[in-house]
Structure 1
Amino acid sequence: MYEVEVKVRADHEAVRERIGARNVRFRETVTQEDTYYDAPQRSFADTDEALRIRRETTIETGNRHGSGADESSQGNGGEEGKGDGRDNLDGRDGRNGDERIVLTYKGPLVDSQSKTRREAETGVEDADELRDVLSALGFAPAATVRKERSVYTGTDAGDDGDDGDGGDGGDGGNGDDSHDGEYTVVLDRVEGIGEFVEVELEAPENRIDTARERVYGMLRDLGLDPNAQVRTSYLELCLDAEGTEA
């Protein structure tokens, strides 16, 4: 399975106003600390691969409220959100303060028009033990990226009989063009480099082009321009901001 993703710089307040009118629901706000590793046998910077350990902590969840422009990752802003929200994400019970550790491998970019990559990840119980394993195998920590992320999920405007007024660029809404037809929309505030919005959709290799067009359509629904996408990773952007080579 491939992660078809497009990322743009965007003002979060403006995007939240558009989210409130779309078929998109607030799921949770989390903090993420991503530690990236160098491999002993090859340079991930040269091969365009990545291996990271993510420590994620829940700040706010959508189990008592759904999406809406009033959602905020700060304090009680989300309590006035609208919609029916979900109370479970990836098997978690969604309690504030919950923490999980995830090991992720990302392959090279496979598409010149998006940030589409092969991705594999698994949950880990003990981050310290995992770091010891990686160290014993010759993997060394290279850099750490910290961010706050608000997560939304949704479908095409037309999937639920909506008027589809934002459908230019995405004729989707058929539901069978991707793995499960559901988008992930994330609002990221990344330490040192600012605010971004990512729209993601999982798809098999033979559906990458279709999924990309659907992602473009969702970005347009949110008032964002797919042509302004940033294909550089957060890791590279942070290293550039620090004047450090990957």
Structure 2
Amino acid sequence: MLEIEQKFQISDKSQLLAQLEQIGATQGSPLDQEDFYFAHPSRNFVETDEALRIRRIGTENHITYKGPKRATVSKIRKEIELAFEAGPAALSQLKEMLELLGFQPVRNVKKQRTPYSFQHNQRHFEITIDEVEGLGTFAEVETLAEEAELEQAEAAVIQLAGQLGLSSSIRTSYLGMLMQQEESHGAD
């Protein structure tokens, strides 16, 4: 399954909330998320454009592999995500196991995420509003698709983002933005 996503920095959250209400999007419960990214012991994920992450959502835990982004307007990539035992002990043990295998912690990304669901033209969309620590407020418009329906799914994401008044999509991940920010502050 492929993830098709567009991300936007937003300055007027209330305007987006009004648009979401107008289209009939269903709000989910706000989530406290923390992502722990790891570097591969023998492969440079920056060069290969891959990511390995452990995500804590409240007390739930997931491990995710993200493949390289494809060269399109949207961020399209293979994503494999697996849940594992809940709680801080399991999270700590998996982080320790990865480090024992040679993976190195890169950085954490903390955010408050408010998800919205929207069904349109027999396609499910997830729209999220993310308050990212150290970066600001962002919106993501996302759907999942098989390879055969990729063009149609990307067009649907672009169309929905436009309908919500979102423009100037960002392909850089939150991790990438935080690291760029740290590099630019280190150069000062």
Shift of 1:223: 1.4
Corresponding residue number in structure 2 for 1:110: 70
Q: Distance in 1 between matches of 2:145 and 2:173?
A: 20
The one of 197, 201, 205 equivalent to 2:143 is 201
Q: Distance in 1 between matches of 2:29 and 2:155?
A: 26
Q: Secondary structure at the match of 2:114?
A: strand
Q: Distance in 1 between matches of 2:160 and 2:42?
A: 40
Corresponding residue number in structure 2 for 1:230: 170
Corresponding residue number in structure 2 for 1:52: 53
Identity, in percent, stands at 36
Corresponding residue number in structure 1 for 2:6: 6
Q: Distance in 2 between matches of 1:19 and 1:111?
A: 29
Deviations 1:168-200 (A, max 9, x none): xxxxx1x2xxxxx21000001111111110000
Q: Distance in 2 between matches of 1:115 and 1:145?
A: 19
Shift of 1:240: 1.2
Distance 1:187 1:24, change over 3 A: same
The one of 113, 117, 137 equivalent to 1:149 is 113
Q: CA RMSD for the aligned pairs?
A: 1.3
Aligned length, in residue pairs: 180
Matches within 5 A, 1:61-72: none
Shift of 1:221: 1.8
The one of 56, 61, 73 equivalent to 1:101 is 61
Matches within 5 A, 1:154-165: 154-156=118-120
Shift of 1:242: 1.6
**Between Structure 1 and Structure 2, which shows a larger proportion of strand residues?**
2
Q: Distance in 1 between matches of 2:71 and 2:4?
A: 9
Unaligned runs of 5+ in 2: none
Corresponding residue number in structure 1 for 2:27: 26
The one of 80, 100, 103 equivalent to 1:136 is 100
Instruction: Answer whether contact 1:186 1:199 (CA < 8 A) is retained.
Output: yes
Unaligned runs of 5+ in 1: 58-98, 157-172, 176-180
Instruction: Answer whether contact 1:23 1:155 (CA < 8 A) is retained.
Output: no
Instruction: Answer whether contact 1:29 1:149 (CA < 8 A) is retained.
Output: yes
Deviations 1:82-108 (A, max 9, x none): xxxxxxxxxxxxxxxxx2011010000
Shift of 1:207: 1.2
Shift of 1:209: 1.0
The one of 157, 160, 164 equivalent to 1:218 is 160
Runs of 4+ aligned residues of structure 1 deviating over 2 Å after TM superposition are none
Shift of 1:111: 3.5
Tell me, yes or no, if structure 1 residue 119 matches structure 2 residue 84.
no
Q: Which has the larger radius of gyration?
A: 1
AA partner of residue 122 (structure 1): L
Instruction: Answer whether contact 1:192 1:241 (CA < 8 A) is retained.
Output: no
